[in-house]
Structure 1
Amino acid sequence: MTQDDQDATGTQEEAGDQPGVTGRLRVLATSDVHSHLLGFDYYADQEHPGIGLSRTAQLIAEARKEAAEAGDIAVLLDNGDWLQGSPLAEPALATDSALAPAIHAFEVLGYDAVGLGNHEFNYGLSALSRVLSALPCPAVSSNITPLSADDTLPVHKHLILTRHFRRATGGQDGVAEVKIGLLSVLPPQTMLWDADHLAGRLHVDDMLRSAKAAISDLRASGADVVIALAHTGEGDDTARDGMENALRPLSRLPGLDAAIGGHTHLLLPPPDGSGRDWEIPVVMPGSGGSHLGVIDLGLRQTPQGWRVEGGSAALRAVAHQTRDGLRPVVSEAPDLVLALRDVHEQTRAEMAAKVGTLSEAHHSYFTYFAEDRALALIATAQAAAVQPMLLKSEYADLPLLSAVAPAKFGGRAGPLNYTDVPPGEISRRHVADIYSYPNELRCIIVNGHQVRDWLEMSAGLFNQLEPDADARLLADPARPGHNFDVIFGLQYEIDPREHARFDAEGRRLHEGPGRIRNLQWNGRPMHGDQQFAVAFNSYRSSGGGNFRMLMDAPGLPLPPQMIRDVVGAYVASAHDLSAVFPAPWRFSPDLGVDAIALTGPGARRHLHELPENVARSATELDTGFLALKLRL
């Protein structure tokens, strides 16, 4: 490894240090780029030092140069979730004629192959097929099966790339051929998350079974090396059918030489050197182009073909976190910036279109413990859009609630990942900052028992806090914030001293009193047999987040409406924006527990909204987050 392996923690022995090694294969990997192709934050309309494939491109060029100088082979792969995410992707996806910007990026950077992630399916099979047909490199997906010929996507079940060593011994004219086998898997839950697009058209098979079959086929076809593009998180050691995060058991499949993980946006190897060992080299390069994964595999030529002899895995970061914020390690690649210049300017112009006016700041810095006006605005806009259809339906007499979860809450995306919209005139970029996901509006009919379990599942976000114990993190970093549903139109309290009733998979853990206290509707205790209509999003309605209590609940048919458009229309329609839903929940009073809430450095502008003792406790961490001490 070189000094350029920033934030690197190597695994296994260095590939080039093994006796008998006659060549080295370098695998360069990106994952979960989410169309963050440039180092630019379109929500804030300013440069962002910690994201952008344009920055990763410089690391790719350096790593390729090192390989070329050593006479090694290098391949560049992406592990999925490259199509959806940044506003940069949306103008092209809204038309049948324009090419997705990611296609230009893959062409400029010379990708050898790409896998598919679950978010590739967010815009439907027709849009995805059009994008895949325009790719400059092959796409691979080993665990998708079309249910009719009309829904076949232009992808390979698995793929062999043929490359040549020119310094290896053997082979005609000093050239030796190496066959690199690739497979790619994504979570079977994709069928739930995008059921509107996939139901009856595409099946997503179990990742482990599909990977095992692909490895067998690749070996039978003569692959010397087999690499998995595994769009899945680390998960448990024990293999189970239908796992969403299965990187651990997948990495132990016989015949697999290296794996690239993703989906959960984590860093593997961890920058702090923690974590467990892997039996093969494994990388997970964060998200948004924040890191480049580098796997080096030593190859030894034998009479039977090439054998892998040792390997290493490392990450290279585009930026470092300092006390003064993120500092870029590399500049942006001029050729990629130039290739995307027109769509970049088009996106900025479209995001600058005026929508309306907000009288107060709307931000998500305190969303886990205090009022979040952005969530209240979304909830109110959702309810306003559903109400006319509800009144014309058989459910017209039901109370209407509205469920929303934060979209930007720090977490794995870092301390800059918060909604932050100032008061005054707002544009489309501000609306996208308030609601960044491409979800559609839905409405579900549930009873009081389901509502309580829904809230219990959401309250699992919080760590269990103990009286008279040292303060611990308020939120469990393993539970994603986009599953912290807040249901407006109710009144309730949360007691984090109790055990969480459900785990992240939606499995019931405890039958005790739960964390939800004093659950009321219209000032009166809610009863289990009461019925409610609840406005919410298509991700949750399709099973996203494992809210099992909502399965099989009936829904109210609605015309297609993107929630972001619903929010924009509500603001533009000159409604009284002060008349939004009031904050529905609080922590139970006088719990006698201490907790540490993490938020972004931008929260300093809003500390006046908090009790004075909480505001005074603000401490900036080396990670760039701001820590606030809460007494609950």
Structure 2
Amino acid sequence: MSSRFELPPMSRRSLLTGMAATSALVLLHPFAARAGANQAHLRLMETTDIHVNVFPYDYYADKPNDTMGLARTATIIDGIRAEASNSLLIDNGDLLQGNPMGDYMAYQHGMKDGDVHPVIKAMNTLDYTVGTLGNHEFNYGLDFMFKVVKGANFPFVCANLTKGQVASDPKKDDLFFKPYVIVEKMIKDGSGSESPVKIGFIGFVPPQIMLWDIKNLEGKAQTRDIVEAAKAWVPAMKEEGADIVVALSHSGIDGSALSEKMENASLHLAAVDGIDAIFTGHQHLVFPGPKTWDGIQNADPVKGTLHGKPAVMAGFWGSHLGLIDLLLEKDGKSWKIVDFTSEARPIYHRDDSKKVIANVADQKGIIEAAKAEHEATLAYVRTPVGKTSAPLYSYFALVADDPSVQIVSQAQTWYIKQMLADTEFKDLPVLSAAAPFKAGGRGGADYYTDVPAGDIAIKNVADIYLYPNTVQAVVITGEQVHNWLEMSAGMFNQIAAGSKDAELLNADFPSYNFDVIDGVTYEIDLSQPRKYDNDGKAINPASNRIQSLQFAGRPIDPKQKFVVVTNNYRAGGGGKFPDIAADRVVFQAPDTNRDVIVRYIHDQGTINPSADGNWIFKPLAGTTATFQSGPKARQFIAEVKGANIEDAGDGADGFAKFRLVL
């Protein structure tokens, strides 16, 4: 089978015109052009990880953003449909949470029976065939999710979400949704004749929702392993007559060995006999694509295949449309795939100066569908709640104690001391764990918290704390505090003493797992290897990156007990931190971390979020390391506490480069 095809080069003007105007000249896909009398071209299109980004608008920054928005993806959909004789559109999950419009709909507007959520309103204009669930569909509870999906004019499928305990046989599970649907579509072959093809769509959600949203799901739902569910249901789809089976996998691509209830199981899912094509998501990455996937066995990031089968991951927030093109051939009464291509087509590109250039304009139907909720969200996020005496920014959150993380810890500590005041834990010392959420990386060079001194509005609080997590607290020992920080220190590469401009940050370690613990002081020794891998397994048990760990000015007592306030994700085992799990939880708040921050700011009137420098890197004579941040970080270099940072010029993809002198 061939992999990719090349279209003739097009100017930006012709690209915009061709995609935005239905009357423009459109190039048919090569499969459509060459299909014989018993052959047909079928185009499958994917949106994934929209996260309520209907408009090309960043509510946190309160300004338009050309890198996002289903309204832009919709314009691509219109153009791409015109390139194909036969096409179907699917969504791969994570629709309902991720920006203030999602919070507004859940917390302010509410969802009454009969209401249609704005993201569903928008999708209902685009003729989706089917969708599946992402993990963030559960953030606001099952009742909210069911009210939302009820408004869709297309079905949702999920084969591994059960009502209560899983059964001994997957096909006996009491599922919330149908595990699959089989769509019979009339397709036109190369001679112009039409005949039916049966396409089966089966959906999967990460089993980890039972950790991440335990407060919403405990006692109400359970999850089954993705691959296990597929092996049970795919044969049933074939028996029911599906010519082609397509997996909608809200699960990423992980090259490690298959393990039970694997989070990113799409590679292994593709190996299941009977699955013909696979749509992936969850990781907010692009597949096929360069570098990220190099070295993963059975994954071809150039051809766009997993175990030789066509696969795609279409970025996030509407940044790309995933495309799998199939050349089908009639084999008796059924159809089979004889060729394919896959690609992820973007809604924007960067010019030579790294400036973002939109490839397409808004699709007016989408804008009109969600206009009222967009305006209501703008009013919601612009409501002031207090003042800050100093700017809040996250440009250096991964290399020094940071004001955007500091304010979260201050608010969490203030809150938990009140909540535990009349409990058996009232006399235990309180520590606070918080991580930077907006720290560049895959989000891009503008993906940072940046709140100037002065009024703070709700949009700023949402910018500081990205997710609607709830506050939880655990009781652990001083030794476990040390191990918690050792896990966090996986953020950094090992740096040999005397190295010059070594790469500081571990690109495979998510910033939301880089917890800073306030209430203790410590140094991080970069000359030592990381103690734990990303799964919390001790790979260098003797390593101790965390040095001089002190509480109240003295070395921490390994046996002393502490209350550590955090969020439900971390306390429930999210991130796989050693010794941190649901059985350590002593307090589960009804309040979100964001709400607590808003209350704290309101209570204080004016906050002082200046970082206190409670953690630093251990000095390494003659050693420097480099990292990237947003260009605006340059104006804050002088304010950084506990780190010697220099401007090192321009980085890649619009970032600025900085040097850390150790």
TM-score by length of 2: 0.89
Preserved contact between residue 6 and residue 317 of structure 1 (Cα < 8 Å): no
Q: Identify the residue that residue 20 of structure 2 maps to in structure 1.
A: none
Once residues 476 and 14 of structure 1 are traced to their aligned partners in structure 2, the CA distance between those partners, rounded to angstroms, is 41
* Cα shift at 1:469: 3.9
1:304 offset after TM fit, Å? 4.1
CA distance in 2, matches of 1:115, 1:82: 10
Shift of 1:230: 0.9
In the TM superposition, 1:92-491 aligns within 5 A as: 92-94=105-107, 95-97=110-112, 98-147=115-164, 155-167=177-189, 174-236=193-255, 238-270=257-289, 275=294, 276-277=299-300, 278=305, 279-322=308-351, 323-469=353-499, 471-491=501-521
Q: 1:61 to 1:522 in 2, by over 3 A?
A: same
For 1:442-591, list aligned pairs within 5 A: 442-469=472-499, 471-551=501-581, 553-574=583-604, 577-578=607-608, 582-590=612-620
Task: Name the CA shift for 1:88/1:21 in 2 (closer, same or farther; >3 Å).
Answer: farther
Q: CA deviation at 1:551?
A: 2.3
Once the two structures are superposed, residues 471-515 of structure 1 have per-residue CA deviations (whole angstroms, 9 ceiling, x without a partner) of 333211111100001100000011122111111111111111321
Q: Hey, what does 1:10 align to over in structure 2? A: none
Q: Which secondary structure does the structure 2 equivalent of 1:573 belong to?
A: helix
Aligned partner (choices 59, 69, 78) of residue 42 of structure 1: 59
List runs of 5+ in structure 1 lacking aligned partners: 8-12
Whole-Å separation in 2 of the counterparts to 1:593 and 1:605:
24
**Does residue 62 of structure 1 match 2:79?**
yes
Q: Report SS of the residue matched to 2:337.
A: strand
Give the secondary structure class of the aligned counterpart of 1:619.
strand
For 1:335, give the aligned amino acid.
G
Amino acid corresponding to residue 316 of structure 2 in structure 1: S
Query: Which deviates the most, 123-132 or 523-532?
Result: 123-132
1:156-193 CA-partner distances (Å, limit 9, x unpaired): 211111111134569xxx42001111111121111111
Q: 3-state DSSP class of the match of 1:456?
A: helix
Paired with 1:612 and 1:205, the residues of 2 have a C-alpha distance of: 47
Per-residue deviation, 1:324:
4.6
AA partner of residue 96 (structure 2): L
Distance 1:258 1:605 in 2: 48
Residue type of the alignment partner of 2:195:
A
Amino acid at match of 1:415: A
Aligned partners of 2:187 and 2:596: how far apart in 1?
A: 56
Distance 1:383 1:6 in 2: 55
Contact 1:14 1:296 in 2 (8 A): no
| Change in 2 beyond 3 A, CA 1:513/1:273 | closer
SS at match of 2:397: coil
- SS of alignment partner, residue 391 of structure 1: coil
Matched AA of 2:268: P
State the alpha-carbon separation in 2 of the partners of residues 240 and 191 from structure 1: 17
**3-state SS, counterpart of residue 281 of structure 1:** strand
Q: Give the direction of change, closer, same or farther, for the CA distance of 1:558–1:251 in structure 2 (3 Å limit).
A: closer
Partner Cα separation in structure 1 for residue 464 and residue 623 of structure 2: 31
Query: Which region of structure 1 is more displaced relative to structure 2, 119-128 or 87-96?
Result: 87-96
Higher alpha-carbon deviation: 290-299 or 584-593:
584-593
Q: Retained in 1: the 8 A contact 2:470–2:568?
A: yes
- SS in structure 2 at match of 1:178: strand
Q: Aligned partners of 2:218 and 2:643: how far apart in 1?
A: 52
Change (3 A) 1:524 1:346: same
Gaps of 5+ in 2: 13-28, 167-172
Secondary structure (helix, strand or coil) at the match of 1:253 reads coil
Q: Is the 2:432–2:566 contact (alpha carbons within 8 Å) kept by the matching residues of 1?
A: yes
Letter in 2 for 1:25: L
1-structure distance, mates of 2:638, 2:117: 43
Worse-superposed segment, 300-309 or 161-170: 161-170
1:616 to partner: Cα distance: 4.9
Shift of 1:611: 9.2
Mapped contact 1:112–1:138 kept (Cα < 8 A):
yes
Provide closer, same or farther for how the CA distance between residues 423 and 576 of structure 1 changes in structure 2, counting only shifts above 3 A: closer
Query: Is the 1:37–1:54 Cα contact (8 Å) retained in structure 2?
Result: yes
Mapped partners of 1:83, 1:254: distance in 2: 32
Q: Deviations over 1:539-595 (max 9, x none)?
A: 111211111311254333354111111111111113562377723211011254332
The answer for the alignment partner of 1:26 in structure 2 is 43
TM-aligned CA distance change 1:591 to 1:566, over 3 Å: farther
CA–CA distance in structure 2, aligned partners of residues 248 and 559 of structure 1: 37
Match runs of 1:615-630 below 5 Å = 616-630=646-660
Q: How many Å apart are 1:605 and its aligned residue?
A: 3.3
Q: How many residues align?
A: 619
- Give the aligned residue type for 2:188: R
Q: 1:273 to 1:588 in 2, by over 3 A?
A: closer
Residue 134 of structure 1 and its aligned partner are, at CA, apart by 1.5
Q: Look up the SS of the partner of 1:519 in the other structure.
A: strand
Residue 51 of structure 2: SS of its match in structure 1? coil
Distance 1:554 1:516 in 2: 22
Residue deviations 1:303-323 (CA, integer Å, cap 9, x gap): 141011111111111111232
What SS does the aligned partner of 1:348 have? helix
Tell me, yes or no, if the aligned pair for 2:401 and 2:642 is still in contact at 8 Å: no
Q: Which letter maps to 2:332?
A: P
- The one-letter code of the counterpart of 1:109 is L
C-alpha deviation, 1:127, in angstroms = 1.0
CA distance in 1, matches of 2:607, 2:57: 30
In structure 1, the partner of 2:24 is none
Amino acid aligned to 1:317? P
Q: Aligned AA for 2:319?
A: S
User: Residues of 1 paired with 2:318 and 2:48: CA distance?
Assistant: 7
> How far 1:217 sits from its partner (Å)?
1.4
CA shift in 2, pair 1:396/1:612, >3 Å: closer
CA contact (8 A) 2:198 2:241 kept: yes
* Bigger shift: residues 231-240 or 570-579: 570-579
C-alpha distance in structure 2 between counterparts of 1:360 and 1:88, whole Å? 27
Structure 1 match to 2:25 = none
